[in-house]
């Protein structure tokens, strides 16, 4: 039995999708935002961020990309990632790290801009703007090669990750899709998956 700690609409969404895709048994636990609850949660994830994943043997993981790679690689014949050791798996790793290190990073500057300056709110607007521009530029790089999925014809858990991250665009999605039509097709395909629909409904409750 896994345990996934998260918040509605947060980075736990893609990890929960992976658990659903694998038909894994898991418990979903919401973490509140009150300081006392976050302080208690740091005993599970010392960064205080969501998600955190507890594995069936009790080991605890943080960092969403690491969780997704671990889950996708766990079954010998996984439908969520190519076979480890192959060039296709190398491409999978490349995009997972790219999404985490660049797209997720830019998202955090869009949503928490005041944290990125010692002047706090005074610089927030400029940092948010830069974060949004970087977010779009990073998505455009993936958009150049995806067709229709990140790895081409086959779905992988990188698609659930991209779908979640792209969904956090704070501007008008229609504008984003005009410049990146591949993302629109991608969102339609990924949102139609049973696992994704189930987890999105859970996060919307």
Ligand X SMILES: N[C@@H](CCC(=O)N[C@@H](CS)C(=O)NCC(=O)O)C(=O)O
Is residue 113 a contact residue for ligand X (CB under 6 A)?
A: no
Is residue 60 a contact residue for ligand X (CB under 6 A)?
A: no
- In whole angstroms, how close is the CB of 100 to ligand X at the nearest point? 6
Stretch of 47-55, 86-94, 178-186, 190-198 contacting ligand X, by CB under 6 A? 47-55
Is residue 63 a contact residue for ligand X (CB under 6 A)?
A: yes
d(CA 37, CA 27): 18
Q: ∠ at Cα 140 (202, 175), nearest 5°?
A: 70
Pairing of strands 2-6, 60-62: unpaired
What tokens were used for 110?
């869009």
Among 69, 117, 119, residue whose Cα is nearest residue 97: 69
Is residue 109 a contact residue for ligand X (CB under 6 A)?
A: no
Is residue 61 a contact residue for ligand X (CB under 6 A)?
A: no
Using CB under 6 A as the binding rule, the residues of this chain from 72 to 101 that contact ligand X are 100
Residue with tokens 């706090």: 120
Stretch of 58-66, 70-78, 81-89, 184-192 contacting ligand X, by CB under 6 A? 58-66
Name which position in 20, 26, 49, 98 contacts ligand X (CB under 6 A): 49
Using CB under 6 A as the binding rule, the residues of this chain from 5 to 44 that contact ligand X are 10-11
**Three-state DSSP class for 80?**
coil
Stretch of 59-67, 70-78, 117-125, 139-147 contacting ligand X, by CB under 6 A? 59-67
Is residue 64 a contact residue for ligand X (CB under 6 A)?
A: yes
Q: Decide if 112 contacts 189 (C-beta within 8 A).
A: no
Among 84, 69, 50, residue whose Cα is nearest residue 160: 69
Is residue 50 a contact residue for ligand X (CB under 6 A)?
A: yes
Q: Write phi, then psi, for 32 (nearest 5 degrees).
A: -70, 170
**Three-state DSSP class for 12?**
helix
Is residue 131 a contact residue for ligand X (CB under 6 A)?
A: no
**Interface contacts to ligand X, rule CB under 6 A:** 10-11, 49-51, 63-65, 100, 104, 108
């Amino acid at each position: 039995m896994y345990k996934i700690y998260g918040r509605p609409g947060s980075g736990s969404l893609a990890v929960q999708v992976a658990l659903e895709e694998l038909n894994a048994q898991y418990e979903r636990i919401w973490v509140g935002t009150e300081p006392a609850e976050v302080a208690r949660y740091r005993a599970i994830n010392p960064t205080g961020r969501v998600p955190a994943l507890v594995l069936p043997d009790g080991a605890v993981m943080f960092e969403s990309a690491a969780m997704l790679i671990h889950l996708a690689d766990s079954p010998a014949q996984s439908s969520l990632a190519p076979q480890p050791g192959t060039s296709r798996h190398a491409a999978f790793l490349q995009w997972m790290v790219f999404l985490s290190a660049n797209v997720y990073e830019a998202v955090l500057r869009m949503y928490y801009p005041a944290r990125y300056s010692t002047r706090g709110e005074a610089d927030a607007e400029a940092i948010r703007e830069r974060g949004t521009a970087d977010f779009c530029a990073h998505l455009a790089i993936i958009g150049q090669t995806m067709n229709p999925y990140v790895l081409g014809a086959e779905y992988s858990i990188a698609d659930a990750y991209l779908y979640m991250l792209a969904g956090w665009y704070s501007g008008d999605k229609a504008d984003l899709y005009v410049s990146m039509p591949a993302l629109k097709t991608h969102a339609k395909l990924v949102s139609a998956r049973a696992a994704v629909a189930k987890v999105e409904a859970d996060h919307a409750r």
